[in-house]
Homo-oligomer: A and B are copies of this chain.
């Protein structure tokens, strides 16, 4: 495990060739096409390389010549913490990483803070393509990626012209969930959602703000809820929606607190993510509310902890989402037509949803 001695200047393929008295081509072949030279010579090359502390052809130079970076970039303009703290996002990341591993290419997390207009990093990233995940619709980083002459696939976002896309059918899934809640008899509901736009608003979200949301996923889910509840005769204007910029369990709890303080009569809390729902669950416990007897709580994503908590939620195959994105990107190139992959979702009814108390009262009423 001794570190090879470093000469004054790093050894290069050329210096190695000179030392051996062979051409650079031959040394290159020793690494890339073993069948192009005699085994003895190859052995001699490799031995000399070790002696000189040469670890093989420089990756960057090789990339320049072959026009392959050997890595795909992941654009997460979101606050990085979000991407890592939400198990659903981590699932996508994992799936993508798996696809990359299969293909033997690296996965580069391209930096770019939200609100940070500095897209230089996008331009500087040596990658063969981009996967764009969870960025606002009008993000400058996304535009910068599109500028680059490499393929791009977007995840969980409306399709942009001619680009590949992968995502679940958010609307349909949300409609299923909403119908479940409606079917149980709930008419007084509240909603907890994630950040809708790049500006922080840890408060109730107006109808305008909901419809103007820059985050497509949230917009789609809210719109689907609205449609379903209005079809059931519930005016959406009467439905309180509380937004949280950050995305921790605690944020879900505080959002639930804010909503329940102002609207104590709601019988169901629909959360646009499991993380928020877990927080709501905690807050319900703190208030002594029984779930689901006093309050129905639903989530979205189907993360492990939610399953363990018995949460009613929509499960989406996050791992597959990431994998599909990776395969799409790595399989691009020759393809001309753009591809769209829509993934199946599944409503998982747990122990946190049930008929509303008011319904029961109605049952026993006059």
Q: Is A46 an interface residue (CB 8 A)?
A: no
Contact (Cβ within 8 A) A162 B109: no
Q: Is A36 an interface residue (CB 8 A)?
A: no
- A147 to B55 Cα, complex, angstroms: 6
- Nearest residue, chain B, Cβ from A61: B64
Shortest Cβ gap from A284 to chain B (Å):
14
Interface centre among A10, A62, A90, A144 (most CB of B within 10 A): A90
- A161 to B2 Cα, complex, angstroms: 8
- A221 to B94 Cα, complex, angstroms: 28
Residues of B within 8 A of A112 (CB): 101
Contact (Cβ within 8 A) A126 B73: no
User: How many copies of this kind of chain does the complex include?
Assistant: 2
Produce 1/0 per residue, A319-352, CB < 8 A to B.
0000000000000000000000000000000000
Residues of B within 8 A of A162 (CB): 3
Contact (Cβ within 8 A) A71 B149: no
Q: Is A222 an interface residue (CB 8 A)?
A: no
Interface centre among A6, A57, A62, A126 (most CB of B within 10 A): A126
Contact (Cβ within 8 A) A84 B80: no
- A69 to B124 Cα, complex, angstroms: 9
Produce 1/0 per residue, A119-153, CB < 8 A to B.
01101111100000000000000011011110000
- A126 to B93 Cα, complex, angstroms: 21
Residue of B56, B98, B124, B125 near A123 (CB, 8 A) is B56
